[in-house]
Amino acid sequence: MQTPADRLKFLRERAPTIGSSDAAAILCESTYKTPGDVWRRITGRIPIDETVSKAAERGHMLEAVVADWWAGATGHGICADGMRKHPTYQYLTANVDRWIPDLDLALECKTASGPAADDFGAEDTDEVPVPYYLQCLHQAVVCGINRVHLAVLIGGFAFEFRKYVLDFSPEIKSEYTATVVRWWREHVETDTCPPPVTLSDTRAMYPYDTGEPIVATEEAAEACERYVMAREAEKSAKAYKDEEAITIQSAMQDAPALLSIHGRELATWKTAKSGRRTFRVKGD
């Protein structure tokens, strides 16, 4: 088990580099962080986050379980690994979960539940979520290999293990390497923040006002008009949605679920432990 001191040491070493989990963010394929988030961490504009989410903590604890299952299922031995650096571009790093000595390849271990589990395809294919594909691609580039094995524990109590094989051609690796190296040179070496892609980005880039107004460009003025139109449409949609919810709940009354004539569940309105009823419409 990784100690707090070990974790802090790892975070400090990783902070000024592009790690494998940053690949999806840099390519705008992550739902957790943006290119700007990665840039701010690398350039030291934000403090190192030592906190660990419950999901990340569980994932780390189950990593050994997933790795041991994969070894047992495949018959290949595994060993602990660690942070590796690209031989040419030292700022490209990869924290490899396990190494497979007889294959001389990397093994990435994951856990997934809920909607995330639906993004995994058939076992023994390369049908994995895009962020995981990019993470493994980054590892292949850093480690100088053309294949990465991925093992995942899917589900809660009714869990299942699955294994995947991701192959990367020299062309794909070369294209990816060129992309991240260009990103580094354009943004890190020039200390230029990537364009914002979320409202969190703009808040981080411009936390305070100067006190002086500016004249809008044509693009900004048109954006203001579209924003007002979108806001009004949002209000109308919310009012319409509320009206439909009232109709549905009035039909359900004290029933926990609403079914179609064929027995398909259309909506639920169940009482939680807190005593409040939670309303859901399928597809909502």
Out of 3.40.50.10860, 3.30.360.10, 3.30.1050.10, 3.90.320.10, the CATH code matching 4-204 is: 3.90.320.10
Q: How far apart are the first and last CA of the chain?
A: 40
Q: Which two tokens stand for residue 195?
A: 């364009």
Q: Which two tokens stand for residue 81?
A: 């690994």
Q: Report phi then psi at 2, rounded to 5.
A: -70, 130
Q: Which two tokens stand for residue 227?
A: 């924003």
Q: Which two tokens stand for residue 231?
A: 């806001």
Buried-state track 189-205, b at ≥16 Cβ within 10 A, e below 16 = eeeebbebeeeebeebe
Helix ranges (DSSP H) in 184-278: 199-205, 218-252
pLDDT in tens, the chain (284 residues): 567 777 778 888 999 999 999 999 999 999 999 999 999 999 999 988 777 666 666 767 789 999 999 999 999 999 999 899 999 999 999 999 999 999 999 999 999 876 677 889 999 999 999 999 999 999 999 999 999 999 999 976 668 999 999 999 999 999 999 999 999 999 999 999 999 999 999 999 999 999 999 999 999 999 999 999 999 999 999 999 999 999 999 999 999 999 999 999 999 999 988 889 999 998 76
| Cβ(90)–Cβ(16) below 8 Å | no
Task: Tell me which DSSP letter residue 92 carries.
Answer: B
- What per-residue confidence (pLDDT) applies to 1? 57
**By C-alpha distance, which of 182, 156, 240, 152 is closest to 35?**
182
* Whole-model pTM over 0.85: no
| Cβ(94)–Cβ(138) below 8 Å | yes
77 Cβ neighbours under 8 A, 6+ residues apart: 71, 100, 101, 102
- In the block, tokens 């009714």 appear at 158
